[in-house]
Amino acid sequence: MKTVRNVHNVILIISLLFIMGFSVVGCAGGKSEIRDTRDQSSVVSSQPSVVSNQLPVISGPSHALRPQPLEMGSYIIGPEDILDIRVLRHEDLAIVTQVQANGMITYPFIGDIKAAGLTIHELQKDIIKRLSRYVKEPFVTVLVKEFNSKKVFILGEVRAPGVYPLKRYTTLLEELTLAGGITDKADLSSAYIVRGVALLPVDFGRLFLQADLSQNIPLAGNDFIYIPSLAEKRVYVLGEVIKPGVVEGRSRLTLVDAISSTGGFKVTAVKNSVKIIRGDLKNPEIIDIDVEAVLSGKALDNPILKGGDIIYVPATRLAKWNEFLTQILPTLQAINLGLTPSYYFFSK
């Protein structure tokens, strides 16, 4: 049975390979501390997982990631940027030009000048120096009319995925708006941003659902934004429930929600020993949950599910994995053949 539990890992690898084809831009404001966030716990967290556990994460609060507001004089010019160059009292020397792929621009009297890789101040000084041979004490201004050399990659559940220019000081919300906004299939709890070779600790759920603007961070060149689909969060509910099958989950689909979406427990269900089976079936992680205690208010252990999870509600208390596998394999095979309908959970 082919499941979707490795989808995010594949996408992360693809995104890294995609980004490495471009110049990698780190977090502005100095070196960032990197830490490994691989999950060593066998307990399912009840909080939404904002970042994958396959890449290092830039630590610290979101505000610590904010680049400084763009200083025009220190902006480094790149290919495809459009420059507006003017000379005081010499309107015939005013031009609007695009930096070529080789980093050059062409200017009257001077000819070809290297612009890419220079700051605006450095290019301004170079033009003044060269133009002084033809104009006495030229007063030159250089402005970036369009910022096209810095790009952001937006893929997944947005209305217009693609590559977007990073124009000046641009925030996450502004850039997602350029991409048409998120779709109703967006899985906000699993969305992420890759910067360089690290994930940024941005909580898309808090940003969109709670209007928490602390998560609306400024973007940097070559940031990779991915909004996964809720279809990647399907889980399987098997055993002693009314309608066992596939549940296509929305954000924050919990164990109790998944069971309820299949009609609830049968009278034969052992409610105090519900199993969440996660990972490769050859060597899975098995989590035992007392759902009866959760429903009665005696426990709060109602975990948020991950894509590919199998929920098994037994009719008897089973202790060994071989016993689980013997009981769930026939149903899993039926699901794989399309014999079992899917049930959809909609958040209230």
Three-state secondary-structure class, residue 260: helix
Per-residue pLDDT, 181: 95
Q: What is the CATH number of the domain that holds 211?
A: 3.10.560.10
What distance in Å separates the CA atoms of residue 29 and residue 19, rounded to the nearest whole number?
21
Q: Do 166 and 207 belong together in one domain?
A: yes
The answer to whether residue 152 sits within a structural domain is no
pLDDT less than 50: residues of the chain? 1-7, 10, 13-14, 16-54, 60-70, 319, 321, 334-348
Per-residue pLDDT, 49: 33
**Contact present, 157 and 228 (Cβ < 8 Å):** yes
- Domain span at residue 267? 234-344
Per-residue pLDDT, 198: 84
Q: Do 259 and 320 belong together in one domain?
A: yes
Q: Do 54 and 89 belong together in one domain?
A: no
Q: Do 65 and 199 belong together in one domain?
A: yes
Per-residue pLDDT, 55: 56
Q: Do 115 and 128 belong together in one domain?
A: yes
Beta strand pairing status for 192-195 and 224-227?
A: antiparallel
The answer to whether residue 81 sits within a structural domain is yes
Q: Do 65 and 93 belong together in one domain?
A: no
The answer to whether residue 203 sits within a structural domain is yes
Per-residue pLDDT, 138: 94
**Contact present, 109 and 134 (Cβ < 8 Å):** yes
Per-residue pLDDT, 57: 58
Per-residue pLDDT, 34: 31
Query: Structure pTM?
Result: 0.50
The answer to whether residue 3 sits within a structural domain is no
Q: Do 174 and 54 belong together in one domain?
A: yes
Burial of 107 (0-12, 13-18, 19+ CB in 10 A): buried
Q: Do 241 and 212 belong together in one domain?
A: no
Q: Do 312 and 340 belong together in one domain?
A: yes
Per-residue pLDDT, 63: 44
Q: Do 124 and 261 belong together in one domain?
A: no
Q: Do 141 and 168 belong together in one domain?
A: no
The answer to whether residue 1 sits within a structural domain is no
Of the three residues 168, 202, 230, the one that is the final residue of a domain is 230
Half-sphere exposure of 322 toward its Cβ, with a 13 Å CA cutoff? Answer: 0
Ramachandran region, residue 278 (left: φ > 0; alpha: ψ -120 to 50; beta: rest): beta
The answer to whether residue 4 sits within a structural domain is no
Q: What's the structural domain count of the chain?
A: 3
Q: Do 57 and 166 belong together in one domain?
A: yes
Q: What is the CATH number of the domain that holds 135?
A: 3.30.1950.10
Of the three residues 214, 230, 246, the one that is the final residue of a domain is 230
Of the three residues 120, 146, 172, the one that is the final residue of a domain is 146
